[in-house]
Amino acid sequence: MSAFLRRGRAFPIFTELAPVVACVAAACVPSLRSRADTHWFNVAFYVLGACQVFAVALWTSSAHTKFRVTSLKKQRFRGRCAWITGASQGLGEDIALELAARGAFLILSGRREARLREVAEACVARGAMAVEILVLDMYSDRGVMKRTVQKAYDLAKSMGKMYDSSASRTVDIFIHCAGGSQAASALSG
């Protein structure tokens, strides 16, 4: 329950505790326990309904709670460096645009440089702190991959120095969306 309170989530507390409160109220009132009819059942549901009405009223009246939760989500990525492979299209592009809107530093990788530049421009327009492009084919040999990884870390470090001279930035988030499936049966190997 304290985890809900720390995050400002009063609504789940009341909706989860309402059935417990109703059952305890029905069990604790002696006049309700002695009756054989369903009166105690009705009272329990009135208590349950009152708890939920209170929860909904509290949740809808606190617009600042919604704003605070939204801004906290944005702050999780602000100033973080994310390297996204396959960022020129599809899921990689969508993730890049979302992280840009949340204020992250981005390193975009893919095979098509022209398309990566378009995505980078869109990311800057959506609010990315900085965007760098790293052309990469995931089917390259091991030596090329090692050099590319080192280059990505060097880019992250240079982006950190560009915005904060005391920062020793590294790649905080790695999202791998590159590659695809081969047109073959899983049984054929």
- Tell me the per-residue pLDDT of 106-151, one tens digit each, with 9 for 90 and over: 999 999 999 999 999 999 999 888 899 999 888 888 888 899 889 9
Asked whether residue 49 is assigned to any structural domain, the reply reads: yes
- Tell me the per-residue pLDDT of 18-75, one tens digit each, with 9 for 90 and over: 556 655 665 565 555 555 556 666 666 677 667 666 666 665 555 545 544 455 455 6
Q: In this predicted structure, what is the pLDDT of residue 129? A: 86
Determine if the pTM surpasses 0.75.
no
More confident residue, 173 or 187: 173
Element holding 171 (H helix, E strand): none
Q: In this predicted structure, what is the pLDDT of residue 64? A: 44
Same domain? For 38 and 24 the reply is yes
Query: DSSP label at 168?
Result: -
Q: In this predicted structure, what is the pLDDT of residue 133? A: 94
Residues 6+ apart with CB under 8 A from 23: 44
Q: Which of 57, 110, 73, 69 is nearest to 88 (CA)?
A: 110
Q: What's the domain count of the chain?
A: 2
- Tell me the per-residue pLDDT of 3-13, one tens digit each, with 9 for 90 and over: 444 445 555 55
Distances (CA, A) of 159 to 66, 77, 127, 145, 148: 32, 15, 15, 21, 16
Asked whether residue 67 is assigned to any structural domain, the reply reads: yes
Assign residue 105 the CATH number of its domain.
3.40.50.720
Containing structural domain, residue 104: 77-176
Same domain? For 46 and 101 the reply is no
Asked whether residue 8 is assigned to any structural domain, the reply reads: yes
